[in-house]
Amino acid sequence: MTAVAANALSKSYVGGVRALDAMTLEIPRGAAFGLIGPNGAGKTTFIKLLLGIARPTSGEVRVLGRSPEDVEARARVGYLPERLHLPGAWKPPAYLRSIAALKGLRDAPLDALLGRVGLSGVQGRRIGGFSKGMRQRLGLAAALLGEPELLVLDEPTDGIDPVGRIEVRDLLLQEKARGATLLLNSHLLAETERVCDRVGILHQGRLVTTGTLESLRVTANTWELTLAPGFEAEKLSAAGLVAVGGGRFTVQAGDAAELNRVIDRARASGALLLKLEPQSRDLEQLLRDAMKEGAR
């Protein structure tokens, strides 16, 4: 079953600006999905369509099997916006009670929720005196109210210090373990990589690639070998290995038989193999490569 399903979803604004172009995407329930791309790629537009804040020009999107405008669907979604506006004169419990009332929740454990996001002991303080990081934590607490089935988080660690980011990351992984689906939009690619198991890359309104992070990171037919000191570089080059530094080499091999032939030639030259793994790209390189493909 899918938590989010978009079919040929497009959105154009006045003046002919096409913010989203025929986007088709499925996010399975229970997945942690990272939506990444440069500024202006269409990420925020997609989130607005997903939440029913805006309507598509064409195509459709379904949330938990329902229309984004369906009241029951909305009650099962937790949302943390990028630009968070909080009532400065209010105190955290009053703010969370107002969100709980909108969701039809009674007797929500507000103190425990504030503790989960690292805001224990601030119940009596006014929100206007909070730092940016504290306000972000309060917004996250509001998104978590009612144990939503889908969490839509737009820059969830914005303004939060490095230690706080670790705490938020652990909290999100706990939510995923609970069975919640996560949709994460963040410019912090390292954080996205640590939380998400699937990603989609938007570029100029188009979804240029999507899939599991593991499958997208692997570079086809390229392997990386780490060798013990004492190898002869010239012989390894002749055997088909390309040095990348620090005793590491890459090799192109179409299948396991070819890979083993290259390794056998390297061993015959006196090299000792310490490590062998498929060459992979981090999320930053994956984004760069996808943008190059999308620009063609």
Residues 85 and 33 placed together within one structural domain of the fold: yes
Domain that holds residue 291: 216-295
Is the predicted pLDDT of residue 295 greater than 70, yes or no?
no
Which among 171, 204, 237 is the end of a domain? 204
Alpha-carbon Rg for the chain, nearest whole angstrom, is 24
Residues 198 and 222 placed together within one structural domain of the fold: no
With tokens 């100029």, the residue in question is 204
Give a yes or no: residue 96 inside a domain.
Answer: yes
Which among 148, 177, 204 is the end of a domain? 204
Q: Contact, 224 vs 277, CB < 8 A?
A: yes
pLDDT, tens only, 97-125:
999 988 888 888 888 999 999 998 888 89
Distance CA 223, CA 79 (A): 41
Which among 204, 237, 257 is the end of a domain? 204
Residues 18 and 135 placed together within one structural domain of the fold: yes
Q: Contact, 49 vs 56, CB < 8 A?
A: yes
The whole-model pTM stands at: 0.80
Is the predicted pLDDT of residue 15 greater than 80, yes or no?
no
Alpha helices in the chain (DSSP H): 43-50, 71-75, 92-102, 110-116, 132-144, 162-178, 189-195, 213-217, 233-239, 256-268, 283-295
221: nearest Cα among 258, 274, 264, 248 = 258
Give a yes or no: residue 210 inside a domain.
Answer: no
Distance CA 163, CA 21 (A): 38
30: nearest Cα among 59, 62, 64, 53 = 64
Residues 52 and 168 placed together within one structural domain of the fold: yes
Q: Which of 12-21, 120-129, 137-146, 164-173 has the lowest mean pLDDT?
A: 12-21
Give a yes or no: residue 209 inside a domain.
Answer: no
Residues 241 and 169 placed together within one structural domain of the fold: no
Tell me phi and psi for residue 102, to 5 degrees.
-65, -30
Total of domains in the chain: 2
Summary mean pLDDT of the chain: 89
Pair of tokens at residue 4: 């989010």
- In CATH, what number is assigned to the domain containing residue 73? 3.40.50.300
